[in-house]
Each structure stands twice: as structure tokens, then as C-alpha cells.
Structure 1
Amino acid sequence: MRAKSIRTRSFSFRKFRLAGFEIGLFLLILVYLFPFYIMITQAFKTAPETLHYPLRLPSTLYWDNIVQVWNLMKFDKVLWNTFYLTFLSVVGIAIVSGMCSFAIARRNTRGYGILYYAIVCGLLIPFYMTLSPLIKLMKDLNLMDNLTGLALAYVGRGIPFTVFLYVGFIRNIPGEIAESAVMDGCSPNRLYWSIYFPMLKHITSTSIILNALWIWNDFLFPLLTLHLPDKRTIPLAQYVFYGSYGTQWNLAFASYLLSMLPLVAAYFFLQKNIVEGIAAGAVKG
């Protein structure tokens, strides 16, 4: 009887602990989702309702906010600018970093080791320390107010982190694959693009997603390099809703909602690759 009572108390304690854990997770989810609730509800309120009743649901869905934001931001134009800049940057980062990492990982010589550490040291240098000389360099090369020039700068900034990811992944691929291909007469160029690159799709997807999120949402660098109105990206165009004497919160939140939709759509489109990339990285790690 005593042993049965002890088992019953132990089982009750485990149930109580599990219930507490689930309640804690539920509260954490609510905290995480609260900003999204604020953004979505505020985006469909009138300006007075936004100021006086910020936590309430909108009395009616005020779709005119979306229309105003689209027109004021010239959203189709800034969306294309942001997409072009992000696409060009992440593709450039993936191509350059992948080929560089392949050479470093497959040639374990002292020179390539020094090159690897020199590249990765770029992660240790704060961006703000390089900002002034980088802007000066872009001015000297006539790359200001140029989306392609800004994409080149992003490629340079993104290479250290992406090379760090690629080298660790490539080094875990069995070397016998490369040796067999070389014995069959495969050139280094074909070895990378035909054999190695298909095996890197998971880490490539992961690096593209991480770099795309950073470049899509970046504000400071475009602010300092893109001054023409027709070259603005989405974060720069959103700045129009903030003023010295007031902020149009309903329009600002509507702009956040519009700018988030392409990323949400891309996430659902690439969801399988995201999960596989994270899982593959965990196994390879």
C-alpha cells in the first residue's frame, strides 16, 4: 500500500509538472504572438482609433490604410527595388562563398588555411568600424545611388559568415567522392558544380534565407547609400510615416504588414528546404 501511495504521488507530481510546463509554453506563445496581434489590428484601424484604443480589435476593417500605404510608398516600385537588391546579393554571396569554401575545404594546405582564417576574421570586425571607409570607397567607385553597387557591398559583407557555414559542411563530405571523380577525369570546375553543389542544397538554402532576411530588412546601409527617391527600398520608404511632430501609426503598421507578406510567402514556399537545412546542419555539426 505504501509503495502504491508513493507511485501515485510521483505520478501526480509528474502530471502537475507537465501541466505547468504546458501553461508556461502557452504564455510564451502569447508573448511571441502579441506583436503580430498589434501589427495586424492597428493596420486596419483609423488614426483616432489607433491612438485611443490600441489593444482593441478594430470596430470595422479600414482597408483604406492599405491603399494609402501602397500609394504613398509607391509600393510596387520599392518592392521591386528590395527584391532586386536582395536577389542579386544572396545569389552573389552563395556563388562566391560556395566556390571559395570548396577550394579551402578540399585543399588542406597552410596557404588556404590562412586564407580561411583571414576571411572568417571579418566576423570579428564590427560593421560600424568599416562603415566610413566603405562609404568612401563606394563614392570613389561611383556606386552611390546604385542598387547593383549596393549589392556588391552586401556580397562582401556576407561572405565571411557564409564561408564559415560552407567550409564546415563541405569538410564533412567524404573525400573519397572527390578522389573517385578526379580519377575519372573530372575537372575541378565540373567536380564542384556537378557533384558537390547538388549536395550543398540544404546549407545553400539556409544561407540564402539568413542572408535574405538580413538584407531585406536592412535600414542603415541603404539610408547612407541610396538618396534618390526611385532607388528606395521598403525600410526606407516606411520612414515616411515617422515625423518630428507625430507618427501615423495606422499607416506605419499597414506598411509593416505589406512588407512582411512577401517574406511569409517565401517562407511557406521554401518551408521544406528550411527544415531540411536546419536538420542537415544539426547532423553535420
Structure 2
Amino acid sequence: MALIFLSPFYIIIVNSFKTKAQLFTSTLAFPKSLIVDNFKDAYAELDFFNSLFHSLIITIISVVVIIIFSSMAAWVLERTRSKISNIILMIFVAAMIIPFQAVMLPLIRLMGKLHFLNVPGLIFMYLGFGVSQAIFLYHGFLKSIPVELDEAAMLDGCSKLQAFWYIIFPLLKPMSVTVSVLDVVWIWNDYLLPSLVINKPNTMTIPLKTFFFFGEYTKQWNLALAGLILDIIPVVIFYFFAQKHIIKSVTAGSIK
């Protein structure tokens, strides 16, 4: 199973060091010589630092906003425990099965009328598409946190917001990391929504820039694969730092 899942990484890494002729001759073979110029050309074509900056800004702000709003909404829905809160939760869960393509054109038309087709508008739309899954995950995790903690904080003089922010939210750290990993991978790799919203070359994300390696008459696979390696490095680094928290959240959920 490990070999199956690692095989795409092998293909990407091996072919990123080949010339275009070598790549089409044998995809699985090792390169005859390491062509480092592929990375230099891909770096220049991607306008890497500018694209990386915009990808980081959009991804980080979107994930932070999703975590804050989703955790607060899930806390209120879990602690209320009424028919209305159950209905609202079911609406969020049902929204998870609606494909983006079904609402794509009406959404873009509406955002265009509101003059919201820009980076802040993109972040707002990511919030709308990301909260359903995050609320579902947070709601399940909050069931393992005793309501007595909320009541004790209230007795000590905390407001509801203070009780959540200082007592409950720190306990949600394992699930927050899990939600952030899921959303970082989704938003970082997303092409379709940014392609509909971002139309200025100087604000394009890395996936949008990577698309320019594939023209109408030619496809620069060697440069594209080198660019993909540059693209995935930030996500891989983030995952390695966050993986211990993901394991904690999984084991905590299984025990409780």
C-alpha cells in the first residue's frame, strides 16, 4: 500500500529532472543526467515568491476564519441541544453533499453584482464552503468536553465569549489542527474557484500559475513537474509539523 501511494511522488520527482525527450521516452526510468535547470525555469515561470505569497495569504486567512467561526457555531449548537439546533446542524451536514459545480455560476454571478470578485471575496466564499465540514467535526469533538467546564467558568464571572475563548477553544486544539490540515490541502490546491474569481496576473495563486505550463499546442511536463515539487513543499512541511496533533485528536476521539 505504501508503494502504491508513494508511486506518484516517485514519478513526479524522477521526471522533474529529465528533458522533455527523456520524459516521453521512458516515464519510470531514472534520468540519464539531473537537469536542475527545470527548477530554475519553473521558478521563473511561476513568479514563485509572488504566487507563494498570495497562496499563503489566501490559505492562512481562510483557514483561520473557518476555524474561528466554525468552532463557535459548533459550540453553540452542541450546548443548546434543542430541536432548532439539531435542524441547523442537519442543514450544515446536508450542505456538505452539494457539489460546488452546482452553485458555481449563480454564485459568481451574484458576487460579480456585489463587486466582490477579488481576494477578500474569495476568502469569504471559502468560509461559506468550508464551515459545514468543520462544524460537523467540531460538534462531534465537543461532545467529549463536559458542559460543567462552561458552568464553572460562568460561576467564576466569565461571559459566554470568555468561557469559550479561554476555556473551551484551547481544548479544541487537536480538532483545530485536523480541520486546518484538511482545509489547507483543499484551499492550497484549489484551482477552479480562484480561476473564476482572480483575474489579475499579479494576484494569482500557485495552481493558477502552474496551469500556464499547459498550452494549447504544447505541454511542458518537465517544467510542470518541477513546479509541482516547489508547490507541494510548503504543504508537506506544514503536515509534518501538524501530524502529532492529528494523531492526538484521532486517539482522543477513539478513547472518549
TM-score interval (norm. to shorter): over 0.9
**Cα distance in 2 for residues equivalent to 1:70 and 1:235:** 13
Map 1:105-124 to 2 at 5 A: 105-124=78-97
C-alpha displacement at 1:274, in angstroms?
A: 2.2
C-alpha displacement at 1:267, in angstroms?
A: 1.4
- What is the aligned counterpart of 1:252 among 218, 224, 227? 224
Map 1:183-202 to 2 at 5 A: 183-202=155-174
Identity of aligned residues (%): 39
C-alpha displacement at 1:70, in angstroms?
A: 0.7
The structure whose Rg is larger is 1
Partner residue in 1 for 2:138: 166
Partner residue in 1 for 2:16: 43
Tell me, yes or no, if the aligned pair for 2:178 and 2:249 is still in contact at 8 Å. yes
**Cα distance in 1 for residues equivalent to 2:145 and 2:7:** 43
Partner residue in 2 for 1:270: 242
Tell me, yes or no, if the aligned pair for 1:206 and 1:278 is still in contact at 8 Å. no
**Cα distance in 2 for residues equivalent to 1:282 and 1:229:** 47
Unaligned 5+ runs, structure 2:
none
State how many pairs are aligned: 256
* Cα deviation digits, residues 139-182 of structure 1 (max 9, x gap): 122121x2121011000100111001111111221122222222
Report the residue type matching 2:65 in the other structure: G
- What is the aligned counterpart of 1:154 among 110, 115, 126? 126
Runs of 4+, deviation exceeding 6 Å: none
Partner residue in 1 for 2:176: 204
Report the residue type matching 2:137 in the other structure: L
**Cα distance in 2 for residues equivalent to 1:124 and 1:268:** 30
How large is the Cα RMSD of the aligned pairs? 1.3
Map 1:1-285 to 2 at 5 A: 28-144=1-117, 146-284=118-256
- Name the SS for the 1:270 alignment partner: helix
**Cα distance in 1 for residues equivalent to 2:252 and 2:191:** 32
TM-score by length of structure 2 reads 0.95
